[in-house]
């Protein structure tokens, strides 16, 4: 994304007044991937495939977030997991928007939610990792 997000909503929880950016979100900017191959006669062969936006692992890095919002997020994710459902993740910076159904990314060594320093009801450097589904 080009700059700080203007809107972040995860699992129905609106993170307002928080500075956040998307991490590893480049696959959302184009649904197409391609490869180029050269023939023996130096003819260029290109193949383009629409891979969509499913199965993209990405993160949302917050500079800071309120403790209450994090507690609401954890409750929403647990409720979705308990019913074997996904939760919506939306982040926009006014130019680009990612709006997908997600599941937590448990492939991360520290888990899908990493919290930084806690001070007076706020967490700093929070990272949420999810996979679009």
Is the pLDDT at 66 greater than 80? The verdict is yes
Helices (H) and strands (E) in the chain, counts: 1, 11
18 belongs to a structural domain: yes
Residue 60: give the domain boundaries. 7-132
- Whose structure tokens read 């891979």? 51
| 41 phi and psi angles, rounded to 5 deg | -90, 15
Q: Which residue has the higher pLDDT, 34 or 63?
A: 63
The pLDDT tens digits of the residues spanning 17-53 come to 778 888 888 788 777 777 888 889 989 988 887 777 8
1 belongs to a structural domain: no
CATH number at residue 18: 2.40.30
Tell me, rounded to whole angstroms, the distance of Cα 61 from its chain centroid: 9
pTM of the predicted protein model: 0.79
How many domains does the chain divide into?
Answer: 1
Residue 79 and residue 108 in contact, taking contact as beta carbons nearer than 8 Å: no
108: tokens are 């991360």
- According to the model, what pLDDT value does residue 52 have? 74
Among the listed residues 74, 75, 73, 63, the one whose alpha carbon sits nearest the alpha carbon of residue 123:
63
């Amino acid at each position: 994304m080009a700059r700080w997000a203007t809107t972040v909503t995860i699992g129905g929880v609106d993170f307002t007044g928080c500075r956040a950016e998307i991490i590893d979100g480049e696959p959302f900017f184009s649904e197409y991937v391609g490869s180029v191959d050269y023939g023996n006669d130096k003819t260029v062969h290109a193949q383009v495939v629409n891979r969509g936006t499913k199965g993209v692992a990405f993160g949302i890095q917050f500079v800071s977030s309120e403790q209450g919002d994090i507690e609401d997020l954890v409750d929403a994710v647990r409720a979705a997991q308990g019913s074997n459902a996904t939760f919506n993740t939306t982040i926009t910076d006014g130019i680009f928007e990612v709006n997908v159904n997600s599941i937590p990314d448990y492939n991360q060594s520290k888990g899908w939610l990493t919290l930084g320093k806690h001070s007076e009801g706020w967490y700093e450097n929070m990272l949420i990792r999810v996979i679009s589904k």
